[in-house]
Amino acid sequence: MGAEDEPFELFKGFSEIFVTVGLGILYGGFMAIAMLVGNPIIVMVLSAAITIALAYYFTLKRRMILPSIALAIVFAGSVGGLSVFSIFDLDAATPNGYHFLATATFGAIAMLGYFWKFRVPFAIFLFGLFGAGIAFSIAGITAPESIFASAFIGNADGVFDISRNPTMAYTMLIFGILAFLGGMWFDVRDPYRISRLSACGFWLHILAAPAIVNVVALSLLNLEGTMGYGLAAAALVVVAVIALVIDRRSFLTAGIIYIGIILAWALDTGSSDDWSIAITLLVMGAFITALGTWWVQLRAVIMRNLPAFPLKNRLPPYQEAA
């Protein structure tokens, strides 16, 4: 694999796509029959059991990537559905934050067990999604009125704004930091990106970046004016540098939409919106293309000029001589 590559593999060949389509149709038929049973708990248990049986063959024996991802998704849906129907039906009261917390916790534990058994990196991503559910639930238990008011009464951007909704914002920021640290835990154990550890780190960074960037960027952009946009731009520069240091383009991807917002503000020509959009897309496209093209060179310059810090030698290698 070349030095410019960040490993990302969804399937090895069309045979995996074909098998995955077959699995989708198979599960469709199973769900159609299961719906006639009328007991959702039995349906979810059977679905999870069948998924595990199929994973033994397609994941452990055949080592197929895309079918393994599909089976992990079905298993997550099955245990999620099982926990919802079980926990919510045990209490006739209106579902609250504790119900969602129990559901997310059960799902997270199940996905962690699934990962431990089958070693599917995507299962870590699903585990992280349940972890995000735990974070949402904890924030909802702590301050339910602020979360739902922000999310459902025409102020969705306030959900991650520290000044408007500190409980939710800080909870998701902590979740993002934990996901980032988890991704780094895998990354430093596979600096050459040759094993499943690197893939696990990739999926955790996919979770970490939006959680961190959403909170930081939205909180700063909502300050409005030059200061807000300037601070948001500075924060995104920091995110870009971190992405270069850890050699994860996926970590920077979450900031693209905010880069566009800031560019639109900075390049506001005072003319029609069509021109502003066109110029913004042109500049942003050129920036991202250039960054992707000279990623390795930029990273080498940054790494050479950074002082020694813990685990620097455990990050992906770079050209040490200019």
Are 204 and 189 within 8 A, CB to CB? no
Give the pLDDT band (50/70/90) at residue 174: very high
The percentage of residues in the chain with a pLDDT greater than 90, rounded to a whole number, is 34
Where does the pLDDT of residue 75 fall: very low under 50, low under 70, confident under 90, or very high at 90 and above?
Answer: very high
Name which of 283, 256, 290 is nearest 269 in CA terms. Answer: 283
More confident residue, 131 or 95: 131
What number of CA atoms fall less than 13 Å from residue 46's CA on the CB side? 12
Between 256 and 145, where is the model more confident?
A: 256
Average the pLDDT over 240-244 and give the result. Answer: 90
Mean pLDDT value across the chain: 82
The predicted structure's pLDDT at residue 129: 95
DSSP state of 158: G
Alpha helices (H) in the chain, listed in sequence order: 14-37, 40-55, 65-89, 97-118, 121-142, 144-152, 166-187, 196-221, 225-246, 249-253, 256-266, 273-293, 295-305
Task: Please give the Cα distance from 133 to 135 (Å, whole number).
Answer: 5
pLDDT of 187-213, one tens digit each? 999 888 888 898 999 999 999 988 898
Closest by CA to 132, choosing from 159, 162, 95, 105, is: 105
Say whether 260 sits in a helix, a strand or coil: helix
Which tops the pLDDT comparison, 227 or 114? Answer: 114
- For residue 273, is it left (φ>0), alpha (ψ between -120 and 50) or beta? alpha
Q: Which pLDDT score is estimated for 3?
A: 47
Contact indicator for 82, 51 with CB cutoff of 8 Å? no
> What pLDDT is recorded for position 110?
95
Residue pLDDT, tens place only, 138-156: 888 887 655 554 544 445 5
Predicted TM-score (pTM) of the model is 0.86
H/E segment holding residue 272: none
pLDDT in tens, 77-104: 999 988 887 776 555 555 667 888 888 9
Reply yes or no on whether the pLDDT at 126 is more than 60.
Answer: yes
**pLDDT per residue as tens digits for the range 52-64:** 999 999 999 999 9
Backbone angles phi, psi at 13, to 5 degrees: -170, 175
Residues 6 or more apart whose Cβ sits within 8 Å of residue 150:
156, 158, 159, 161, 164, 165, 168
pLDDT at 5: 64
| Angle at CA of residue 28, ends 27 and 31, nearest 5° | 80
Q: Among the ranges 96-110, 133-147, 251-265, which has the highest mean pLDDT value?
A: 96-110
